[in-house]
């Protein structure tokens, strides 16, 4: 199964053709969208990409497209969270997908908010700890050991960073590791920067796919999509993962 995570920027209005071209070149079975706040845009993408299963709620960031049958989809909002996350259950594949879009902006204040958001999501995923699931989306944070080039931030964000404690103590991705999740892209590409944002000046990796450690081998591939019309479609590069679901009962 091919799973694409894609932040389509500000709802994607007016860029449906370019977005559909990016999605179609990836040939995904399921797409988890972020900043997909307009159902009309998601519906047009569904039609252009030949995916009859889709869902989007006005003002919610996370939406999905699927050519596979979906048994269940549900949005939840974490305490302190500004956005809902999505739980998606496929009918035929033994896979549960959690689509996330954590709070934005690089600072110690917003990093703490992301930690609160993620802890709430992890309490939900804990009930599926013995079955295969993945978390994917725009985490809006850097992994430990990855550097933020402050000089490349807009002036207003550099100023906000200074007044909120300066150098950010990245905690969110560390929390995923502590919960025994594997960063799929980094496991396949230990030396690749994996930058996913922004497309016109890539310098940070914000988009991830995580799998529980005991099921990490079922993720066969995880790649940042840099080719094709990606720079015209959005400010994020999409993340494409190839997954083989295990034959185990659903949670």
Peptide bond into 170 cis (omega under 30): no
CB 209 within 8 A of CB 5: yes
CB 6 within 8 A of CB 33: yes
Residue 232: count of CB within 10 angstroms of its CB: 13
Q: Does the pLDDT value for residue 80 go beyond 80?
A: no
Six-digit token pair at 250? 């659903």
Residue of higher predicted confidence among 67 and 154: 67
**Domain-embedded: residue 122:** yes
Residue of higher predicted confidence among 226 and 249: 226
pLDDT value, residue 73: 96
Q: Does the pLDDT value for residue 98 go beyond 60?
A: yes
CA quadruple 93, 16, 77, 184: dihedral, nearest 10:
50
pLDDT bin (cut points 50, 70, 90) of residue 165 is: low
pLDDT value, residue 241: 98
Q: What is the pTM of this model?
A: 0.93
Q: Does the pLDDT value for residue 236 go beyond 60?
A: yes
CB 30 within 8 A of CB 90: yes
**Domain-embedded: residue 250:** no
Residue 146: count of CB within 10 angstroms of its CB: 15
Q: What value, to the nearest 5°, has the Cα angle with vertex 247 and ends 244 and 249?
A: 125
Cα distances from 68 to residues 28, 71, 243, in angstroms, run 10, 10, 14
**Domain-embedded: residue 90:** yes
Strand partners, 4: 31, 240
**Domain-embedded: residue 140:** yes
DSSP per position, 134-188: EEEEE--S--TT----GGGS-HHHHHHHHHTTSS----HHHHHHHTTEEEHHHHH
Number of domains in the chain: 1
Residue of higher predicted confidence among 250 and 165: 165
Task: For residue 111, give its domain range.
Answer: 2-243
* 249 CB-contact burial (10 Å; exposed 0-12 / middle 13-18 / buried 19+): exposed
pLDDT bin (cut points 50, 70, 90) of residue 250 is: very low
d(CA 221, CA 206): 18
Cβ density class 74-83: b for 16+ within 10 Å, e for less: ebeebeebeb
**Domain-embedded: residue 54:** yes
Q: Does the pLDDT value for residue 29 go beyond 70?
A: yes
Backbone angles phi, psi at 122, to 5 degrees: -65, -30
pLDDT bin (cut points 50, 70, 90) of residue 105 is: confident
Which CATH number characterizes residue 9's domain? 3.60.10.10
Percent of the chain past pLDDT 70, that is, above it, reads 93
Q: Does the pLDDT value for residue 247 go beyond 70?
A: no
Residue 218: count of CB within 10 angstroms of its CB: 18
**Domain-embedded: residue 38:** yes
CB 192 within 8 A of CB 162: no
Residue 2: count of CB within 10 angstroms of its CB: 16
Q: Mean pLDDT of all residues in the chain?
A: 91
**Domain-embedded: residue 251:** no
**Domain-embedded: residue 60:** yes
Residue of higher predicted confidence among 82 and 72: 72
Q: How many residues does the chain have?
A: 251
pLDDT bin (cut points 50, 70, 90) of residue 157 is: low
């Amino acid at each position: 199964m091919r799973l694409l995570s894609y932040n389509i920027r500000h709802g994607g209005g007016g860029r449906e053709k370019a977005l559909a071209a990016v999605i179609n070149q990836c040939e995904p079975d399921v797409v988890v969208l972020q900043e997909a706040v307009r159902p009309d845009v998601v519906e047009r993408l569904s039609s252009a990409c030949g995916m009859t299963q889709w869902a989007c709620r006005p003002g919610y960031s996370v939406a999905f497209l699927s050519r596979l049958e979906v048994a269940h989809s549900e949005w939840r909002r974490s305490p302190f969270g500004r956005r809902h996350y999505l739980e998606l259950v496929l009918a035929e594949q033994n896979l549960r997908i959690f689509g996330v879009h954590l709070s934005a902006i690089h600072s110690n204040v917003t990093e703490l908010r992301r930690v609160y958001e993620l802890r709430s999501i992890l309490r939900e995923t804990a009930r599926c700890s013995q079955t295969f699931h993945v978390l994917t989306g725009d985490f809006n944070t850097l992994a430990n050991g990855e550097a933020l080039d402050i000089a490349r931030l807009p002036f207003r964000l550099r100023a906000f960073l200074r007044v909120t404690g300066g150098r950010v103590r990245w905690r969110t991705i560390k929390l995923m590791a502590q919960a025994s999740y594997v960063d799929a892209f980094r496991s396949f590409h230990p030396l690749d920067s994996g930058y996913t944002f922004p497309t016109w000046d890539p310098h940070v990796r914000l988009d991830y796919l995580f799998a529980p450690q005991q099921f990490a081998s079922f993720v066969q591939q995880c790649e940042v999509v840099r080719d094709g019309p990606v720079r015209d479609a959005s400010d994020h590069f999409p993340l494409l993962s190839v997954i083989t679901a295990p034959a185990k009962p659903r949670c």
